[in-house]
Amino acid sequence: MNYHFSEALSGMDGTATRDIFKLLSRPEIISFAGGLPASDALPTRLMGEIAAEIFVDETEALRCLQYSVTEGYPGFRETVIDLVRDLGITGITPDNVLVISGGGQGLDLMLKAFVNKGDVVLMEDPTFLSFIQAAKSYNAVAVGVAADSDGVSLGDLEAKLKRYAPKLMYLIPTFSNPTGKTYPIEKRKAVIDLAHRYGVIILEDDPYSRLRFAGEPVPPMITLDKHGIVVYVSSFSKTIAPGLRTGFAVGPAEIIRKLTIGKQNVDLHTSSLSQLAIKKYIEKGYFLPNIAKSIPLYRQRKTAMTDAINRYMPASFKHTDPDGGLFIWGEFDAPVNTTDMFQAAIAENVAYIVGSVFFADGGGANTLRLNYTNESPERIEEGVQRLGRVFKGV
Ligand SMILES: Cc1ncc(COP(=O)(O)O)c(C=O)c1O
């Protein structure tokens, strides 16, 4: 049979990703390729205790096993409202919150709500690969905005706002994936001013801001928005556990209503079991202390990686030094193609992600992304030493 699939997913067969993950399951490979939180930080025992509690309570068990409403498990949006207060997100009601099945779903729903075929969506170059792919799957035109050391370049952003009249701008202003960069508050304000002037909605993706191991917190862009143009998406994937597939979107009630409609015909609602487990986890006071426990581990692993880079990588390798999150971004100040070098790295039993995949419309041949959270400091040192051998003389 000749299957006539849609244009939306053409050119995305997923083979490259599958092949990489197959490779990474080999124990001899030291992997800096994934985006996994540290397995040691996952709360297996606490979640076991909570799951047992849920299933001995007949009412709770039934609520978890029965269909529920799209907006969120009863009381869970209030839990989210309480949770985001310390980030400075205040003055919101349940109408401003939608529970989603991971942050990724929030990105998809925003595209679904705002984008028609051919519309331009702006994003910082480089950015989260899944967002680029999701934008293309809605037949949007993904346009990258050049970046400085502290986030999008305001000059290039204004030029592209003028040129393309985009509907939507996607940003990861805190500990970006893939660069680890954070926008200072002045840049956040300037970006909001520009977006307001050109009538563009900002999608602020923030899965990582609580994973800060150095420096001072910067308020989320939504707290600086006086115009109702920022939608904030976050997730419990990196703060509790990704397998729970739960996150939340916060924004103007009118936009949240649209996202709710968009979600209704996709998965009806996020897993009630996950929502109740997270609600109990937060109410029992486990949330912030458990993150605090994982912070030294992340700090130690990031430091192990930057120390090893300084020791083993060639001088042409420039890299970010993040204050939090999961990733270091590297760029060779030399004519090297990291795609061409990938097989040589695998031959040395070390893996990274080729940087060019994070660019909306090409570029970044000399770049790569390194994850430091899911290997021990000893294996990080060994892995970077291997990378140093691969890129020796570059
Ligand atoms: C920037 C960014 N946004 C969103 C996500 C999606 O995470 P999830 O759907 O697990 O919440 C990720 C995951 O790696 C990410 O890096």
User: What is the per-residue pLDDT for 14?
Assistant: 66
Structure tokens at 127: 């950015």
Task: Supply φ then ψ for residue 351, to 5 degrees.
Answer: -130, 145
Quick one: how far is CA 5 from the chain centroid?
Answer: 28
User: What is the per-residue pLDDT for 21?
Assistant: 73
Structure tokens at 7: 């244009």
Task: Supply φ then ψ for residue 138, to 5 degrees.
Answer: -95, 15
CA of 179 to the centre of ligand 1 (A): 14
What is the number of other CB atoms lying within 10 angstroms of the CB of residue 41?
20
Task: Supply φ then ψ for residue 233, to 5 degrees.
Answer: -120, 130
pLDDT digits (tens, 9 = 90+) for 278-315: 999 999 999 999 999 999 999 999 999 999 999 999 99
For the segment 183-195, the average pLDDT, to the nearest whole number, is 98
* CA gap 344, 340 in Å, rounded: 8
- Pocket flag, ligand 1, residue 352 (CB < 6 Å): no
- Pocket flag, ligand 1, residue 235 (CB < 6 Å): yes
* CA gap 344, 388 in Å, rounded: 11
CA of 236 to the centre of ligand 1 (A): 10
- Pocket flag, ligand 1, residue 234 (CB < 6 Å): no
Residue 251 has pLDDT above 80, yes or no: yes
User: What is the per-residue pLDDT for 237?
Assistant: 97
User: What is the per-residue pLDDT for 17?
Assistant: 67
pLDDT digits (tens, 9 = 90+) for 65-114: 999 999 999 999 999 999 999 999 999 999 999 999 999 999 999 999 99
Return the sign of the alpha-carbon dihedral for residues 216, 296, 388, 178. negative
| Nearest protein CA to atom 14 of ligand 1, as residue | 35
Place of tokens 């109702």: 228
Q: What is the CATH number of domain 15-36+289-390?
A: 3.90.1150.10
CA angle 112, 153, 204 (to 5 degrees): 35
Q: Could you tell me the end-to-end alpha-carbon distance of the chain, in angstroms, rounded to an integer?
A: 49
Q: Considering the chain, what is the average pLDDT of its residues? A: 95
Residue 12 has pLDDT above 90, yes or no: no
- Pocket flag, ligand 1, residue 173 (CB < 6 Å): no
pTM score, two decimals? 0.96
Which numbered atom of ligand 1 lies nearest the CA of 101? 9
User: What is the per-residue pLDDT for 40?
Assistant: 83
Residue boundaries of the structural domains of the chain: 15-36+289-390, 68-283
CA of 243 to the centre of ligand 1 (A): 12
- Pocket flag, ligand 1, residue 325 (CB < 6 Å): no
- Pocket flag, ligand 1, residue 102 (CB < 6 Å): yes
Q: CA nearest 205: which of 107, 111, 79?
A: 107
Per-residue pLDDT band for 258 (boundaries 50, 70, 90) equals very high
Residue 193 to residues 93, 110, 198, 202, Cα–Cα distance (Å): 25, 21, 9, 11
Structure tokens at 306: 């930057």
For the segment 190-209, the average pLDDT, to the nearest whole number, is 98
* CA gap 184, 219 in Å, rounded: 9
- Pocket flag, ligand 1, residue 72 (CB < 6 Å): no
- Pocket flag, ligand 1, residue 242 (CB < 6 Å): yes
CA angle 59, 63, 64 (to 5 degrees): 120
From the number of C-beta atoms within 10 Å of its C-beta (0-12, 13-18, 19+), residue 379 rates as middle
pLDDT digits (tens, 9 = 90+) for 121-176: 999 999 999 999 999 999 999 999 999 999 999 999 999 999 999 999 999 999 99
What is the number of other CB atoms lying within 10 angstroms of the CB of residue 344?
13
Per-residue pLDDT band for 39 (boundaries 50, 70, 90) equals confident
CA of 314 to the centre of ligand 1 (A): 31
Task: Let me know: does 288 contact 278? Beta carbons within 8 Å.
Answer: no
Higher-scoring residue by pLDDT: 19, 337: 337
User: What is the per-residue pLDDT for 306?
Assistant: 98
* CA gap 253, 256 in Å, rounded: 5
Residue 101 to residues 134, 340, 358, Cα–Cα distance (Å): 15, 36, 23
CA of 235 to the centre of ligand 1 (A): 7
Question: Ligand 1 pocket check: which of 17, 110, 128 to mutate, most ligand atoms within 8 Å of Cβ?
Answer: 128
Pairing of strands 230-235, 201-205: parallel
Residue 19 has pLDDT above 80, yes or no: no
Task: Let me know: does 363 contact 27? Beta carbons within 8 Å.
Answer: no
Residues with Cβ within 8 Å of residue 95, at least 6 apart in sequence = 253, 256, 257
Residue 2 has pLDDT above 90, yes or no: no
Structure tokens at 201: 């909605």
Task: Let me know: does 222 contact 189? Beta carbons within 8 Å.
Answer: no
Classified by CATH at the fold level, domain 68-283 comes out as: Aspartate Aminotransferase; domain 2 (3.40.640)
